[in-house]
Amino acid sequence: MILSASRRTDIPNYYSDWFYQRIKEGYCYVRNPMNAHQISKISLSPEVVDCIVFWTKNPAPMMARLPELKDYRYYFQFTLTGYGRDIEPNVPRKKESAIPTFQSLSREIGKEKVIWRYDPILFTEKYTMEYHLSAFSQIAEALCGYTDKCVISFVDIYAKNRKTMERLWLQVFPEEKLKEFAGKLSRIARGHSMEIAACAEAMDLSDCGISPNSCIDKGQIEKIIGCKLRGAKDKNQRGECGCMESVEIGAYDTCKNGCLYCYANQSDVQVRSKAELYDVNSPLLCGTVTEQDKITERKRKSLREEQLSFFE
């Protein structure tokens, strides 16, 4: 199986000690967000975990312990944008911290295992197209040689981020202008030896030199693990999403980055409340098992195609 850690929260930044403890004990619990009393027990054995995909804005807290993952294959989706504290209040500063951390991680595990995400892109009176082009160019220059790929997307409005998005007075542009902007990003990325792709975009950006992205990318994972994988498209994601199936181990309303565009948090109050439940030794991330909960072991197996095809 492919482990997603995590679309719902920043595990490397805030919960890396919990993650390493789960790896040590060989399992974790995940509460079903649609059924509060349904808990899945997930095996974290290297025999069934084919690859781990980390999503983070700051992997620094887990980097010193990466040798503990020697029996696993993994890569990082590292979000690094041009926003300030008004949009990303708790994210490390770019020049002083985030960029050096990205470079250090790339040197340690290899540039093919660190994906740069410049997303989501939103436009305001302050964060104009010109601003983004300048910020993107500066970051691309700093990351040149430290990654092979950049992923972009334009901001989406969800129920959980609608109120904050309304307060930002977002500027909306026609598709033609967005494509012109995307084409400029594409040229900048290619100029710094990076492939550029778009995450779950309904808009076709292929004419701009931007291909559809799969964050949990079957082809990339096969290169990392050195063999073919079985596995279908993830039915639980949006139609535009090209990711292969994975097992999510994060929890909503636990990310403390505080980004205004976040779709995974209901409110700051909810995050503070859940974060108070954090226990590094608990099988659940930011939660406890109650008498009403039902725990079911979720049977998973490796997706590896160990036997080579006659035609390969």
pLDDT band of residue 310 (cuts 50, 70, 90) is very low
Helix axes 175-191, 129-143, angle to 10 degrees: 20
**For the chain, domain boundaries:** 2-305
Overall residue count recorded for the chain in this entry: 312
Give pTM, 2 decimals.
0.93
pLDDT band of residue 73 (cuts 50, 70, 90) is very high
Specify the pairing of strand 2-5 against strand 247-248: parallel
Tens of pLDDT, residues 210-258: 988 888 888 899 999 999 998 777 777 766 677 889 999 999 999 999 9
Is it the case that residue 142 has pLDDT exceeding 60?
A: yes
